[in-house]
Amino acid sequence: MPGFTVDVILSYSQIVAIMNPFSILGNYLTLTEGIRKEARAKILNTAVIAVTIIGLIFIIAGSLILRFYHLSVMAIKFGGGVLLMVIAIDMMSGMPRSKTVDKREIAVVPLATPMMVGPGTLAVLIYLGTAMPLLHAITGFLAGVLTVYATLMASGFFIRLLGRTGVRALSRFMSLILASIAAQMMYDAVAGWYIHLIGKCK
- Is the pTM for the entire model greater than 0.85? no
- List pLDDT tens digits, range 138-165: 999 999 999 999 999 998 787 788 777 7
**Average pLDDT, rounded, for the chain:** 83
* Residue 157: how many other CB atoms lie within 10 Å: 10
**Is it the case that residue 6 has pLDDT exceeding 90?**
yes
- List pLDDT tens digits, range 86-145: 877 876 776 544 444 455 578 887 788 877 887 778 888 998 998 899 999 999 999 999
* For the chain, domain boundaries: 2-201
In this structure, are residues 178 and 63 in contact, taking their beta carbons and an 8 Å threshold? no
Round to whole Å and give the CA distance between 81 and 75.
Answer: 10
Mean pLDDT of 74-91: 80
Mean pLDDT of 28-52: 86
Q: What is the pLDDT of residue 77?
A: 80
More confident residue, 55 or 94: 55
* Sign for the pseudo-dihedral over CA of 88, 90, 94, 96: negative
In this structure, are residues 152 and 51 in contact, taking their beta carbons and an 8 Å threshold? no
